[in-house]
Amino acid sequence: MNPDPAESVSVTHDPETGRYTATFDPDALDVSIAVVEATAAIRSEDPMRHAPLFEVVDPDALDQLCRRSGDANTLVEFTYLDHRIHVQADGRIAVVPLSGD
């Protein structure tokens, strides 16, 4: 059974830092899907209206790297939709808006 990605990613926001933290089960959902769902939730947008993730990172490579590692020490960082994305293989994603200056 494939879970609904939108219901499988939980996003919290720290208003003091502006940082968002998304969590998901890496055994149930590919990290590439979790990144898209997290940014969609943060931006309150339909993920189908976003620029494709593959324009900034290879989703298959991202999934494979995180799947093979499963270690919290594995960290992948990239910029997507005006946010700095920090993906940890254990199911945590930090999303930090880029400054406007």
Q: Where are the alpha helices (DSSP H) in 1-101?
A: 5-8, 31-43, 59-69
What pLDDT score was predicted for residue 1? 37
Q: pLDDT tens digit string along 32-51?
A: 999 999 999 999 989 888 89
77-96 as b/e, with b when 16 or more CB fall inside 10 Å?
Answer: eeebbebebbbbbebbbbbb
Distance CA 100, CA 88 (A): 26
Could you state, in order of their start, the residue ranges of all structural domains in the chain?
5-97
pLDDT of residue 100: 54
pTM of the full structure? 0.86
* Rounded distance between C-alpha atoms, residue 61 and residue 54, angstroms: 10
Q: Which regions of the chain are under pLDDT 50?
A: 1-2, 101
